[in-house]
Amino acid sequence: MAMAIHKYDAVVIGAGGAGMRCSLQLARAGLRVAVLSKVFPTRSHTVAAQGGIGASLGNMDEDNWHYHFYDTVKGSDWLGDQDAIEFMCREAPKVVYDLEHMGMPFDRNPDGTIYQRPFGGHSAKYGEKPVPRACAAADRTGHAMLHTLYQQNVKSNTTFFVEWMALDLIRDSEGDVVGVTALEMETGDVSIFHAKCVLLATGGAGRIFAASTNAFINTGDGLGMAARAGIPLEDMEFWQFHPTGVHNAGVLLTEGCRGEGAILRNKSGERFMERYAPKLKDLAPRDFISRCMDQEIKEGRGCGPNADYIELDLTHLGGETIMKRLPSVHEIGKNFANVDVIKQPIPVVPTIHYQMGGVPTNIHGQVVVPKNGNPNTVVNGLYAIGEVSCVSVHGANRLGTNSLLDLLVFGRAAGNHLVETALGSKSHKPLPANAADYTMSRLAVIDGSSSGEYPQDVANDLRKAMQLHAGVFRTQKSMDEGVAKVIAIDERAKSLSLKDKSKVFNTARIEALEVGNLMEAAKATMVSAAARHESRGAHTVDDYGDTAENPLGRNDREWMKHTLWFSEGNRLDYKPVNLKPLTVDSIPPVKRTF
Amino acid sequence: MLTDLQLSRLRWRCRRGFLENDIVLTRLLDRRGAGFSDIEHEQLLTLIALDDNDLWDIIAGRKNDFPANTSEMVSTLRDTLSTH
């Protein structure tokens, strides 16, 4: 039977905030848009975002985009591209008002303006004082955003393909992207989506780590597709951690615990943060505490039978305070750690939260690669937006509330760019004769395997290795060992076995395909991390500490550059950071202190 | 008892946008496997058709206005949450 071919102007892979913001822009312009999603759109991981959208509306106090720009550049530890950061911060109020006009139920001030809450790292007057900049819908901002965007997309005739998994990009002989192959879970059949452009909006790959706040769907599918198509992944060594994820669950305990006086203790019951941060103790910054916790565990002072977690002690706060101020922590303790936090400490570990790197793009969302001496040559027909992409606005560390902002700004920008460049009047480039051959050969290996390991066993070993070697506390030796280990696991992943060989809704088959994507994201992370011989933002390496020449271990002279990892041969390349904003003066690098 | 296909489909639809729901639903499926009655299966399908935040509020016991005729499965999910 001939393979089905679906023809659209644009195909968006992923129905989270970025994908649906982009598809809406395209559908409203009358383009034929397909959105492919592994799960129902409103169950994308954007739904988990609580905090808010950063935008300098100035509704609570004096604010403007210049201050937001400064905070974001500083937060990125000068690895963010300042043109992209300026673009994002200037566009921020527009995308918030757009959502407001679509019916997003933002929290309000008594005068009817959008209420804005304070968030760490956001300041006015270039770091002088905190400013409330986060626009939120209670603690359900992501949920409200997804619903708003989904309804608008339905109204605008976007076509959704739900429970479809995109597999491989189709590139023609000139390297242009002309479509994508995808698997319909209900039938197990593969189809071709022939398109004038493909947009990756698949989110991050947080499930490459054992301790992750990410939902199970976050398997880095867009990263895998890009890597297999010869496109590099940028700055994948930078991952944001949260210090207090519940051990063996990943569920987050709010930072409010430590604000209320909770104490981190090692196996001896020692309040170890007193040693690392005598003044701030348990209230030291998030990334610093995470590294101290990991160091305690690595040096054998972890708690529990495997000495692999730290205990967060709230018992001295008393039941009344806990139930009044931290009821959700009590609930999480009971449900995910089997612990009554009024009576016992709760096991926690530093937990992966957000991927700063991804598929390299420009401010229009166009994917860019090095070619003929130009590090940012556009790949025709391919865009990436949201967490899967690296514009790069987050650089080495993301500022809170900038993730939802990133989705909206660049989802909209990519849509606008396609409309402005008259996508509708262009014709489809022909599909190559072998358009689906690569995909079918990958599936044939999985379907035909009679021996080998189960996908989940390999994935679990990968997660353990990543946690150990690319976790929050990094040493050069451990990262080098991690590279060898991940490459060995990659070999195992090439011969996965399935118990069930059926095609119809075979979840094991889908998981095997996801493992392939996890592997690409993990190799990119591990290899890029081991090669970066400095400390910067979330990539802090014990070997590269604070010196007069390299304050806090950051070596701008040699390492102020973006990493580009290529799957073929595990090869690395680099490209310069863009320190030149679009219209304003550059923020020159200084030592990052708070 | 569910068929292999029913279980496989159910397992996929228990993939959520929200880690808390992922954990509880996976825990339930790992414990029960295909051993759901038709009524339990129907109730679970009704509940997982809800949005993640609403589903989590029901499972966590913050909300009691769940869909009609799903009370047995709500109890099962709450038990699953509280037993490790």
DSSP state of A309: B
In chain A, residues with a C-beta closer than 8 Å to the C-beta of B12 are 163, 185, 505, 507, 510
Q: How far apart are CA A308 and CA A477, in angstroms?
A: 20
Report which of residues A243 and A383 the model is more confident about.
Answer: A383
Sorted by where each begins, the domain ranges of chain B are 4-82
Omega into A392 within 30° of 0, i.e. cis? yes
Q: What is the mean pLDDT of residues A564-581?
A: 97
Q: pLDDT of A136-148, one tens digit each?
A: 888 789 999 999 9
Residues 229-258 of A with CB under 8 A from B: 249-251
- A vs B, Cβ pairs < 8 A, gives 81
**A354 backbone φψ class: left, alpha, beta (φ>0; ψ -120 to 50):** beta
Q: Determine the 3-state secondary structure of A565 from DSSP.
A: strand
In chain A, residues with a C-beta closer than 8 Å to the C-beta of B52 are 42-43, 47-48, 143
Q: How far is B55 from chain A (nearest CA, A)?
A: 11
Residue A326, pLDDT above cutoff 90 = no
Give the list of residues 6+ apart from residue A351 with CB closer than 8 angstroms, or none.
A209, A211, A212, A213, A241, A242, A243, A244, A245, A250, A252
Cβ distance A577 to A81 under 8 Å? yes
Q: How far is A525 from chain B (nearest CA, A)?
A: 22
Cβ distance A57 to A114 under 8 Å? yes
Q: pLDDT of A52-93, one tens digit each?
A: 899 999 999 999 999 999 999 998 999 999 999 999 999 999
Give Cα separations from A403 to A159, A218, A340, A512 (angstroms). 26, 15, 33, 29
Q: Is B79 on the interface with A (CB under 8 A)?
A: no
Residues of A with catalytic function: 286
Q: pLDDT of B26-84, one tens digit each?
A: 999 999 989 999 999 999 999 999 999 999 999 998 899 999 899 999 999 999 988 76
Q: Is B22 on the interface with A (CB under 8 A)?
A: yes
Residue A427, pLDDT above cutoff 80 = yes
Q: How far apart are CA A216 and CA A386, in angstroms?
A: 18
Residue A280, pLDDT above cutoff 80 = no
Give Cα separations from A591 to A215, A257, A400 (angstroms). 35, 29, 20
How many CB atoms lie under 10 A from the CB of residue A469?
23
In chain A, residues with a C-beta closer than 8 Å to the C-beta of B8 are 500, 505-507
Q: pLDDT of A192-234, one tens digit each?
A: 999 999 999 999 999 999 999 999 999 999 999 999 999 999 9
For tokens 């949201």, the residue is A386
Most confident of A13-27, A120-134, A535-549: A13-27
Most confident of A236-240, A330-334, A350-354: A236-240
Size of chain B in residues? 84
Lowest mean per-residue pLDDT among A129-133, A203-207, A327-331: A327-331
Residues 83-112 of A with CB under 8 A from B: none
In chain A, residues with a C-beta closer than 8 Å to the C-beta of B15 are 38-39, 43, 215-217
- Which among B4, B14, B15, B25 is the top mutation candidate for probing chain A, defined by the most A β-carbons within 10 Å of its own β-carbon? B15
Fold classification of B4-82 (topology level):
DNA polymerase; domain 1 (1.10.150)
How many CB atoms lie under 10 A from the CB of residue A570?
16
Q: Is B5 on the interface with A (CB under 8 A)?
A: yes
Lowest mean per-residue pLDDT among A257-266, A277-286, A343-352: A277-286
Beta bridge partners of A310: A348
Q: Determine the 3-state secondary structure of A90 from DSSP.
A: helix
Q: What is the mean pLDDT of residues A580-584?
A: 97
Q: What is the mean pLDDT of residues A272-285?
A: 84
Residue A100, pLDDT above cutoff 90 = yes
User: Whose CA is closest to A532, among A276, A285, A356, A294?
Assistant: A356
End-to-end CA distance of chain A: 63
Cβ distance A119 to A133 under 8 Å? yes
- The amino acid at residue B71 is S
Mean pLDDT of chain B: 93
Q: How far apart are CA B41 and CA A58, in angstroms?
A: 50
